Structure 1
């Protein structure tokens, strides 16, 4: 699918913050990410989310099922296909991510998303020139500070070479 400016892919870890009871700043950032364009997920994300909700948060199965339905209503859901798995293996080889992270990246590419929101991958990395990985939890101010430091380092001139006196 051709990338479009309004499509974003949501990794499982971002969705988890929507339903965890703590870290309200991260919950707010996750809500903003999900509401930023057409949110897409794959069936892998739904499976991982259900597993985390029932195993880590000990949510009853009926509640986890309700959460999965809520995510399905809020996002476009795409299946994991054999072609997607092959694409993930190529991405794994090229970018050195683990298989399941590569499958997330392949899913984002397949949906035509231009942004992949994830906490676990390299913030700012561009995949295949078309998909940018962004952590919704990196404050814009911190990102601007990093950019400022890079510019400042480039602007600093090294002192002229001094000859030693003998």
Structure 2
């Protein structure tokens, strides 16, 4: 199972991002076709906030992306237990709180690969592998994640 950090969703929506846009959109599309992905409510909320504030995307266009993704991917919301796990991970692994909450949520949901440009590429935290999809050395790993 695979999940996407907010930055991947932003690239998928931003045609001005060039090759990153094409790669992110293709990766999401392929994972949806294989029914091998889920998305977190946290990342969807962050996406809406980021693209309407920083990317100049109209709220209605951002909402259309969200509605589209929600219609084809299960969405997992964070729980109180995820909050507790996130606080533990901040101390144990030295990651930021919001990244830790994302990690805790996808871990509980059974995700094995978290696709992100922002986390430490290659790091595995309690069974969740962080994969930067734009790093050339991760091509085979991305294919493995899609087939997982």
TM-score (norm 2): 0.84
Structure 1 residues 65, 141: closer, same or farther in 2, change over 3 A? closer
Aligned to 1:161: none
Aligned to 2:37: 39
Shift of 1:29: 2.2
Aligned to 2:134: 137
Shift of 1:23: 2.9
Taking the aligned partners of 1:50 and 1:30, their CA distance within structure 2 comes to: 17
Q: Between Structure 1 and Structure 2, whose CA radius of gyration is higher?
A: 1
User: Conserved in 2, the CA contact under 8 Å of 1:42 and 1:78?
Assistant: yes
Taking the aligned partners of 1:32 and 1:94, their CA distance within structure 2 comes to: 34
User: Conserved in 1, the CA contact under 8 Å of 2:112 and 2:129?
Assistant: yes
Shift of 1:111: 1.4
Structure with a larger share of its residues in helix: 2
The number of equivalent residue pairs is 136
Shift of 1:103: 0.8
What SS is found at the alignment partner of 1:91?
helix
* Root mean square deviation of aligned Cα: 1.9
TM-score (norm 1): 0.75
What SS is found at the alignment partner of 2:37?
strand
- 1:44-83 equivalences under 5 Å are 44-83=42-81
Query: Unmatched 5+ residue regions in structure 2?
Result: 141-148
Taking the aligned partners of 1:52 and 1:121, their CA distance within structure 2 comes to: 17
User: Conserved in 2, the CA contact under 8 Å of 1:18 and 1:30?
Assistant: yes
User: Conserved in 2, the CA contact under 8 Å of 1:33 and 1:117?
Assistant: no
Taking the aligned partners of 2:128 and 2:139, their CA distance within structure 1 comes to: 22
Shift of 1:141: 7.8
Taking the aligned partners of 1:117 and 1:78, their CA distance within structure 2 comes to: 16
Structure 1 residues 20, 122: closer, same or farther in 2, change over 3 A? same
What SS is found at the alignment partner of 1:83?
helix
Aligned to 1:15: 9
User: Conserved in 2, the CA contact under 8 Å of 1:39 and 1:74?
Assistant: no
User: Conserved in 1, the CA contact under 8 Å of 2:13 and 2:25?
Assistant: no
What SS is found at the alignment partner of 1:97?
coil
Shift of 1:114: 0.8
